[in-house]
């Protein structure tokens, strides 16, 4: 199955600033996904990112707050904009590939906004 | 999307078999059942996927009754390293575009 490198692994940011999280996949994948996970909670899907088209956002998430780029089939970024303490969370990217192995996840970015 | 219900937490002693059951009463005909494992500070990891009856791999077994309204993940002879959160998902099939996670089951293996 694919391997995803996600960075940064963690960051502490000032409120009002923005952070861009990067995910690199070691193979070409059509679909990538971004999730948010509050500590001790389950994962919530933010958006789906396909190469060559705009990301599709889930209810409660908007492009102005979480702009996503997908410049090629191996890379995607998620920006958390104008951060507030409520954005403190773990952000994970994921890719889907054909076959029985389902989805592969990055190791996550633990974001703390102060 | 079919909603899933699973126990919030379970404890087990080392060496025992652990069975985690997931209910998915509204599963659709083309839905598959997939289980993921998540350790602290890591992303979820695929464990096993099935459509009906029984599936077994080197890590676990998945039992799915004929009505497919539930499924049971079976972990043989658990060790301390199996302490993790286990998520049951329905809908991860070739036509699905994304995953929606339920609450998961936090398994704690006790020495």
| Cα distance between residue A43 and residue B93, in whole Å | 19
Distance from CA of A15 to the nearest CA of B (A): 23
Burial of A105 (0-12, 13-18, 19+ CB in 10 A): buried
Task: Say if the Cβ atoms of B43 and A45 lie within 8 Å.
Answer: no
Predicted confidence at residue A53, as pLDDT, reads 83
CB pairs A-B closer than 8 Å: 51
Residue B94: φ, ψ to 5°: -55, -20
pLDDT exceeds 90 at position B13: yes
- Quick check: A51 contacting B, CB < 8 Å? no
90-109 of B, contacting A, C-beta below 8 A = 92, 97-104
CATH number of A4-113: 3.40.50.2000, 3.40.50.300, 3.40.366.10, 2.60.40.10?
A: 2.60.40.10
B75 near B82, Cβ under 8 Å?
yes
Distance CA A24, CA B39 (A): 21
**Residues contacting B39, CB < 8 A, separation 6+:** B45, B84
Nearest-neighbour CA in chain A from B5: distance (Å): 13
Please answer yes or no on whether A102 and B46 come within 8 Å at the CB atom. Answer: yes
Chain B residues with CB under 8 Å of A35 CB are: 101
Q: Which residues contact A98 (CB under 8 A, 6 or more apart)?
A: none
Could you give all domains of chain B from N- to C-terminal order, each with its CATH number? 9-110 (2.60.40.10)
pLDDT of residue A101: 65
CB < 8 Å to B49, chain A? 100, 102
Nearest to A103 among B42, B46, B104 (CB): B46
Query: Given a cut of 90, is residue B78 above it in pLDDT?
Result: yes
Q: What is the pLDDT of residues B21-75, one digit of tens each?
A: 999 998 888 888 999 999 988 999 999 999 999 999 999 999 999 999 999 999 9
Taking the C-alpha atoms of residue A34 and residue A46, their distance in angstroms, rounded to an integer, is 5
pLDDT tens-digit profile of B84-111?
A: 999 998 875 554 555 778 889 999 999 9
Nearby residues of B78 by Cβ (< 8 Å), 6 or more positions away = B12, B14, B15, B16, B17, B18, B107, B109
Q: Measure the CA–CA gap between A28 and A2, rounded to whole angstroms.
A: 9
Give residue B57's region: left, alpha or beta (phi > 0; psi -120 to 50). beta
State the DSSP H helix or E strand holding residue A36, giving kind and residue range, or none if neither.
Answer: strand A31-37
pLDDT in tens, chain A (114 residues): 789 999 999 999 999 999 999 999 999 988 899 999 998 899 999 999 988 888 999 999 999 999 999 999 999 999 999 999 999 999 999 998 766 667 899 999 999 999
């Amino acid at each position: 199955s694919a391997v995803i490198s996600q960075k940064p692994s963690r960051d502490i940011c000032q409120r009002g600033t923005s952070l861009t999280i990067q995910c690199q996949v070691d193979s070409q994948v059509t679909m990538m996904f971004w999730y948010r996970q509050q500590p001790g909670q389950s994962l919530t899907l933010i958006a789906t990112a396909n190469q060559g088209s705009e990301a599709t956002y889930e209810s409660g998430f908007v492009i102005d707050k979480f702009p996503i780029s997908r410049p090629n089939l191996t890379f995607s970024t998620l920006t958390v904009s104008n951060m507030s303490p409520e954005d403190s969370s773990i952000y994970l990217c994921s890719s889907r590939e054909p076959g029985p192995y389902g989805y592969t996840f990055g190791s996550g970015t633990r974001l703390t906004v102060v | 999307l079919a909603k899933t219900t699973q126990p919030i937490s379970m404890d087990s002693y080392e060496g025992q078999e652990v069975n985690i059951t997931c209910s998915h009463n509204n599963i659709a005909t083309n839905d598959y059942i997939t289980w993921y494992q998540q350790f602290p500070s890591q992303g979820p990891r695929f464990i096993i996927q099935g459509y009906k009856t029984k599936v077994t791999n080197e890590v676990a077994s998945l039992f799915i009754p004929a009505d497919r309204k539930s499924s049971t993940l079976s972990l043989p002879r658990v060790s301390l390293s199996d302490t993790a959160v286990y998520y049951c998902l329905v809908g991860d099939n070739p036509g699905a575009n994304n995953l929606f996670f339920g609450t998961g089951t936090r398994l704690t293996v006790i020495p």
